[in-house]
Amino acid sequence: MEQLAINGGTPVRENKIFYGRQWITDEDVAAVGKVLKGDYITCGPSVAALEQKLCEVTGARYAVAVSNGTAALHCAAIAAGIGDGDEVITTPLTFAASANCALYVGARPVFADVDPKTYNIDPESIEAHITDRTKAIVAVDFTGQAVEHDRILEICRKYDLTYIVDAAHAIGTRYNNTPEGSIGDMTCFSFHPVKTVTSGEGGAITTDDPDLYRKLRLASQHGIVKDPAGFENESPDGIWYYEMQTIGFNYRMTDFQAALLISQLSRLGEFSARRKEIVKRYNEAFAGIPGIIVQREIPESDTTRHLYIIRLDSGILKCTRREFFDAMSAENVQCQVHYIPVYFFPYYQRLGYERGLCPIAEEIYEGIMSIPLYPMMSDEDVNDVIHAVTKVTEWYRK
């Protein structure tokens, strides 16, 4: 048995590898440089070109580019008409923005539990939490795997709820051969650097509904209309004229961010294929390791995985998650934890949320960590990660 690096042994690798990172090429840099040297670095044609590209990628009729994924969720909540006294059902195993978007508009997040094998929100738990105040469901494609869209759509239609898909992890994923982005009433994306494609910071909302599209535009751009076709005043004074028709926010994306994302999207197929190769290698390697539980996938989801999560089996391992995490770091494989259940945070505790709301999600959280997964990883990198997980698991096995 190999001595752990944390105990004085030799690390698996010399240089630290992290759970995620962007892949920027000379073509990406050139695309951004071209915009920076042009006439428009914001409010220009590149954003419109990006929105058209996102429609092509997702199959959606409309796309609205925004400054980040949180802005996308906020705009979706506004467009859905969610407000004071309403409830929005979501998962606790997510980044806080999936729930915070309800708070932004005066509504109350309600947390449904997750499936113990897929870690995605459980449709049965969703339905059990519906009340006469429920307005919408925010379902998160956790790690990139599609949720059970068909079952959730049935629930939304049955109770007349707006279906918002938080696909921040899931650009490139397909559900029953339909791309994420054209399934829910609105779908929200994030383009943070560790996501499959990036614009630095950035986000987008897609929809097929023209009324929702108009509301998303207003929400993300100060509530201001510059297009004469949208004016309430039929006689604008001149080409400089614009109207503020509702309260909105400055959630615009810059043109150079849009140019970067257009360039990145041209390689989405390559990124997706490489992520799938690494996931397949991990699944094969970890399937036979006692002490490691692998996230399961539903057959309907053709997943472009954003995160690869291993779960420690406390019945087989004699270490805490922190001890395993620190041992991996000493081997120069830096993991992360996704996510602390949202209602664990002090802010939510002060709002009256208590631990124990979603026992399955809480149990899963206690043993999960994300290991490195990104397209730039070499086969040697992948082997090093597998070696580190195997080495640490063997050391701590009872």
264-267's contacts with Cβ under 8 Å and 24+ in sequence apart are: 264/28, 264/191, 264/197, 264/198, 264/199, 265/53, 265/54, 265/57, 265/197, 267/25, 267/197
204-259 pLDDT, tens digit per residue, is: 999 999 999 999 999 999 999 988 777 787 766 888 889 999 999 999 999 999 99
Which positions are annotated as active-site residues? 195
pLDDT of residue 178: 98
Asked if the model's pLDDT at residue 72 lies above 70, the reply is yes
Which uninterrupted H or E stretch holds 69?
A: helix 69-79
| Average pLDDT of span 279-293 | 97
| Average pLDDT of span 163-168 | 99
- Name 184's Cβ contacts closer than 8 Å, sequence gap at least 6: 139, 149, 153, 163, 164, 165
pTM given for the model = 0.97
Question: Which tokens belong to 108?
Answer: 């109350």
The maximal CA–CA distance of the chain, rounded, in angstroms, is 81
**Category of 8 on φ-ψ map: left (φ > 0), alpha (ψ -120 to 50) or beta:** left
Could you tell me the pLDDT band of residue 161, with boundaries at 50, 70 and 90? very high
Q: Is 157 exposed, middle or buried (0-12, 13-18, 19+ CB in 10 A)?
A: exposed
35, 256 Cβ separation under 8 angstroms: yes
pLDDT of residue 146: 98
The share of the chain scoring above pLDDT 70, in percent, equals 99
- Name 236's Cβ contacts closer than 8 Å, sequence gap at least 6: 228
Residue among 60, 27, 32, 42 at smallest CA distance from 259: 32
180, 151 Cβ separation under 8 angstroms: no
Supply angle C-alpha 90, 92, 98, rounded to 5.
Answer: 55
The share of the chain scoring above pLDDT 90, in percent, equals 95
| 159: preceding bond cis by omega (within 30 degrees) | no
Asked if the model's pLDDT at residue 282 lies above 90, the reply is yes
pLDDT of residue 288: 87
Supply angle C-alpha 277, 280, 285, rounded to 5.
Answer: 125
42-70 pLDDT, tens digit per residue, is: 999 999 999 999 999 999 999 999 999 99
Q: For the beta carbon of residue 283, count every other beta carbon within 10 angstroms.
A: 14
pLDDT of residue 22: 97
Could you tell me the pLDDT band of residue 361, with boundaries at 50, 70 and 90? very high
pLDDT of residue 327: 98
Handedness of CA 84, 90, 96, 101 (dihedral sign): negative
| Average pLDDT of span 137-164 | 98
- Give me the residue spans of the domains in the chain: 5-17+268-396, 26-265
pLDDT of residue 82: 98
Architecture of the CATH domain 26-265: 3-Layer(aba) Sandwich (3.40)
DSSP-derived letter for residue 143 is G
Q: Does 236 or 178 have the greater pLDDT score?
A: 178
CATH T-level topology, domain 5-17+268-396:
Aspartate Aminotransferase, domain 1 (3.90.1150)
| Average pLDDT of span 7-12 | 98
Q: For the beta carbon of residue 34, count every other beta carbon within 10 angstroms.
A: 12
DSSP of 111-134: EPPB-TTT-SBPHHHHHHT--TTE
- Name 379's Cβ contacts closer than 8 Å, sequence gap at least 6: none
Q: Calculate the CA 213 to chain-centre distance.
A: 21
pLDDT of residue 229: 75
Asked if the model's pLDDT at residue 319 lies above 90, the reply is yes
pLDDT of residue 228: 73
pLDDT of residue 231: 75
- The one-letter amino acid code at 162 reads T
- The three-class DSSP label of residue 341 is coil
220, 247 Cβ separation under 8 angstroms: no
pLDDT of residue 305: 98
Pairing outcome for strands 178-179 and 174-175: antiparallel
pLDDT of residue 235: 67
- Average pLDDT in the chain: 97
DSSP-derived letter for residue 190 is E
Calpha distance 334→18 (Å, rounded) = 5
